Amino acid sequence: MAVIIAFENYSMSTGIFGSSFNGFNNFTLLFSSPAFQAALLNTIIFTIVTVPYGIVIALILATLINTFSPSIQTIFRSAFYLPGVISGVILSMTWIWIFDPSIGLANDVLRFLHLPPIYWLESPTTSLLSIMLSGMLMAPGGSIILYLAAMSKVPKEYYEAAELDGASSFQKWFYITVPLLEPTTLYLLVMGTIGSFQVFTSVYIMTKGGPGYSSNLLGYDIYNRAFNNFNFGQASAEALILWAIVGVIAIFEFRRFSKVVKF
């Protein structure tokens, strides 16, 4: 349905088969739209910042947790993973309170440091940053668990051989652990990128894409065009563009994974 509607001057009164065909007009109007341009740029920035950060944090935390006994690891696995099952709506509402300019925790910290308060969600310069922080300040529990599972499969003989050669703990981690975690890292990179292109809940609850288009992301822009502006043609065209981006990433994933030696 989305593929057909993307090439139509769609009207809810006439339906899919009663609406007139308009070729690539929806795509032309979409690429000239400031809202779409801002959403695409913001989504790229969001992805470039949050995805590598999440992978690095997950790798560091998993490395630290892996040094404990299995029973202690179980406690940390639960502690980091359980917050991830909380509803995104509840988390977003909590962050609205944290970023409140008057009574929010974020500005309380700034006041304690004798710094001026920030209008986190109300300012065009910080609204996107606030959306990113709301995700980045939560430990990536699922990624940590995947890394811990992959680390448990690394043959101990590699570490023993490196130790006999005089390798330090950091050298063993950097030259043995990290390279052998490449399949997991690639998986998290690709899935994280796909997920970042589909972020919706936090934007919808916290900023509605504003002020202006400063925090507008592709997922929310598609929703806004379809269900607020009732422009289903452009919304479907934007959904196809998002699908194409995700498709390119998926193709890269399969091609890259085929070259990786699994253990």
- Using one digit for the tens of pLDDT, what is the confidence trace for 196-214? 999 999 999 999 999 999 9
- What is the spatial distance between Cα 40 and Cα 75, in angstroms, rounded to a whole number? 40
* pLDDT reading at 18 higher than 90: no
Instruction: Return the structure tokens found at 175.
Output: 């030259």
At 263, is the pLDDT very low, low, confident or very high (cuts 50, 70, 90)?
Answer: very low
Q: For tokens 């109300």, what's the residue?
A: 122
pTM: 0.90
Instruction: Return the structure tokens found at 80.
Output: 């980091």
CATH code for the structural domain at 39-85+140-257:
1.10.3720.10
* pLDDT reading at 261 higher than 50: no
Contact present, 120 and 106 (Cβ < 8 Å):
yes
- Using one digit for the tens of pLDDT, what is the confidence trace for 143-194? 999 999 999 999 999 999 999 989 999 999 999 999 999 889 988 988 898 9
The β-bridge partners of 9 are 20
At 257, is the pLDDT very low, low, confident or very high (cuts 50, 70, 90)?
Answer: low
The predicted pLDDT at position 250 comes to 75
